[in-house]
Each structure stands twice: as structure tokens, then as C-alpha cells.
Amino acid sequence: MLQRLKHDFHLFMITLVGLIASCTLLPYALYRMATEDYLVGMVDILMITVSTVSVWMAWRSGETEKPGFLMAAVFCFGAVLVCMKLGQDVLFWIYPLMVFIFFLVAPIKALLLLLLMVCAIVSLHFSEHSAIFSTNFQLLAFITTTLITSIFAYIFAYRTHLQRQELRRLATTDPLTGAATRHSLTDELTYAIQLFQQKGVVSGLMLLDLDHFKRINDNFGHHAGDQILSQLVPLLKQMIRQQDSVFRYGGEEFVLLIKEIQLADLHRLAEKIRHAIWHQLTLPDGSALTTSIGIATVQHASDWESWLQNADVALYQAKHNGRNQVVIATGSTEQAIATP
């Protein structure tokens, strides 16, 4: 549980906001009910209930966008209703609420929700039954301060959002080849194993290693080696579907995760890839580049480590058999058979 909170910032924030909202609103809700102020009491209870349900949804599904939006929308709606009933007393609560909202939803959605809430409060002031502000000066101060707070919070949240995206890109994309890094490999493999265990969807793994790459570096220089690696990944991406992924596993070693595929088709695809590398990538002196590939489907894997291990044993066999070939892992980590 602590691990999930540590790794998922949005889940952490939804949980924290849910806890703070429930703890601070509960005494108010009880007080309002006791003093027969039923409308405000019910709004407080609604906000507590939605907070609890949203936190539960986020924990259950692992998805935080919808629960966050639900919470943010109900808080804004609740703030307008309570303002209508209690007037100025509630206005101080609007400011922490504005900050909370930026932690719950995407910056632009938060800004729009807040502008809508401010417009609704101002419109209510001018409606017949509820004069929220005592003077026009107070009304003007409310509009100005909420606008300034919203805009600055938006700029801060948007900048943080961009920086988080950039950090994620840096952590998950190999700068030389554009392939995904090992960082996201384990999550994707674990998800493919879950898909197989829960729905029977078979996925396949290829572990691909360029042959005699050290010799290429030694003969043509490190830069030529880099160029080969950066040409390889676009070629691989061309040959797989959008749903499949290429990861750089090590120096000249790559993992391809091919989703929803049976062993025979995985084998055919691996052979196609081996031929494409052989015939389409050339070394600076015009000679061909070869590759060895170990393949394994998900059926015999209990976890991502054993799945990779199966493919690794097959790759080792391909190298051992003379390279430039595809070998299928037969399930256990000890067995692998060569295919011509």
C-alpha cells in the first residue's frame, strides 16, 4: 500500500485530499444537521461520500483521472451551493479548494472548473434571493483574487505537468535509438502475463542480439556502431504493429513484446525480422549484418523474469549454434530447440 502511494503521485493526492476533505467536513456536516441546516448538511455529506467513493475507485482500478474529476466537480458544485446558503463565511474556503483542484485534475480542466465556479458564485450574488457580498468592492476583490489565484496555480500546475512528462520521456526512451528503456519493460511484461492468466491472451517475446557487434565497433569505430543501432530500431518498428513494443535491453540487445500472437506467427515474424536486418542493414564496407533471436511465448512463464529467462536461453542457443538464426524456447528455462 505504501509502495503504491510512493510511486503513484495522483493516487497519493486523491487519497490525501479525500482524507482531509472527509476529516474537515464531517464535524461541519454533523453540526449543520444538529442545527437543522439540512441543505448545507446534505452538501457536506455529499462531498464526504463522493470523496470516499473516488478514493475507493482510484485504489480499486488504479486509474485516477475519472475519480479525480468526479471529486473536483462535486467540490466546486458543493462550494457554490454552500456559498448560496451561508454567504461570505464560506469564501475563505474557496482558496484552499482552488489549490486542491489542481492536484485532482489536469491543469486546463482545473482552470475551467474554477472559472465556472467563480462565475456561478458571482451570478448567484446577482440573483434575487442571495446577496453573497456586502459591497461591490468586496465582490470585485473576490473576482480579482480568485482569477489571480487560478491563473498562477494554472501556470504552476502546467509547468509541473510538462516537467513530469519530460522526466517520464527521459526515463522511458533510449536517447540513441528511440526504443523504450528497460524501465517500462517489467511493467509491460507483467501486464501481458496478467492478460494471459485472466483472459488467455497469448503474447510473445523476442530477445534479439546483433552478431559480433564488438567486431563492428573495432573495425569501423564506435560511431558506425551507433549508426547501426539507430537504424535498427526504426526498421524493427516498421515490422511490428502499433500495439507491440521495442525495448533496448542492453548495448546491442533488444526485446520485442508482440501482443496477441501464437508461437507459429511469432516464429514467422522473428524470421522476417532476421532477414530484414540481414538484407537491409549494411556495414560501412557493404557487408551484411546478422542477428540472433530467442523467442518465447507467455504460456510457460510464471513471472516476467522467467519469461525473459526462457527467451535468453533460446538466444544463447542461437549464438551457440553459429548465430544468424531464430531459436524457440520450449517453455522451461533449460530447454530450447533450434529451428533452421
Ligand X SMILES: Nc1nc2c(ncn2[C@@H]2O[C@H](COP(=O)(O)OP(=O)(O)OP(=O)(O)O)[C@@H](O)[C@H]2O)c(=O)[nH]1
Q: Which residues are part of the catalytic machinery? A: 252
* Residue 226 binding ligand X, by CB under 6 A: yes
Closer residue to ligand X (CB): 159 or 222: 222
Interface positions, 27-46, toward ligand X (CB under 6 A): none
- Binding span for ligand X by CB under 6 A among 14-22, 189-197, 222-230, 233-241: 222-230
The single residue among 44, 244, 252, 312 that binds ligand X, judged by CB under 6 A, is 252
Size of the site for ligand X (CB under 6 A): 17
Closer residue to ligand X (CB): 44 or 252: 252
Q: Determine the Cα–Cα distance for residues 226 and 228; give it in Å rounded to an integer.
A: 5
* Residue 217 binding ligand X, by CB under 6 A: yes
Work out whether strand 336-338 and strand 253-258 pair parallel, antiparallel, or are unpaired.
Answer: unpaired
Least separation in angstroms between residue 67's CB and ligand X is 42
Least separation in angstroms between residue 61's CB and ligand X is 39
- Residue 91, C-alpha cell as written in the block: 469564501
Least separation in angstroms between residue 63's CB and ligand X is 36
Task: Please name which of 298, 177, 160 lies closest in space to residue 230, comparing C-alpha atoms.
Answer: 177
**Taking CA 27 as the corner, what is the angle to CA 149 and CA 101, rounded to the nearest 5 degrees?**
25
Strand spans (E) along the chain: 204-210, 245-248, 253-258, 291-297, 326-329, 336-338
Interface positions, 157-216, toward ligand X (CB under 6 A): 176, 209-215
Closer residue to ligand X (CB): 196 or 220: 220
* Residue 225 binding ligand X, by CB under 6 A: yes
Least separation in angstroms between residue 317's CB and ligand X is 13
Closer residue to ligand X (CB): 187 or 226: 226
The single residue among 189, 202, 229, 269 that binds ligand X, judged by CB under 6 A, is 229
Q: What is the DSSP string of 10-79?
A: HHHHHHHHHHHHHHHHHHHHHHHHHTT-HHHHHHHHHHHHHHHHHHHHHHHHS--HHHHHHHHHHHHHHH
3-state secondary structure of 142: helix
C-alpha distances in Å from residue 233, one per residue of 186, 208, 331: 20, 11, 27
* Residue 222 binding ligand X, by CB under 6 A: yes
Interface positions, 281-320, toward ligand X (CB under 6 A): 319
Least separation in angstroms between residue 323's CB and ligand X is 6
Least separation in angstroms between residue 234's CB and ligand X is 16
* Residue 322 binding ligand X, by CB under 6 A: no
Burial zone of 337 (CB within 10 Å; 0-12 exposed, 13-18 middle, 19+ buried): exposed
C-alpha distances in Å from residue 59, one per residue of 1, 8, 62, 63, 309: 9, 10, 5, 8, 32
**Residues near ligand X, by CB under 6 A:** 176, 209-215, 217, 222, 225-226, 229, 251-252, 319, 323
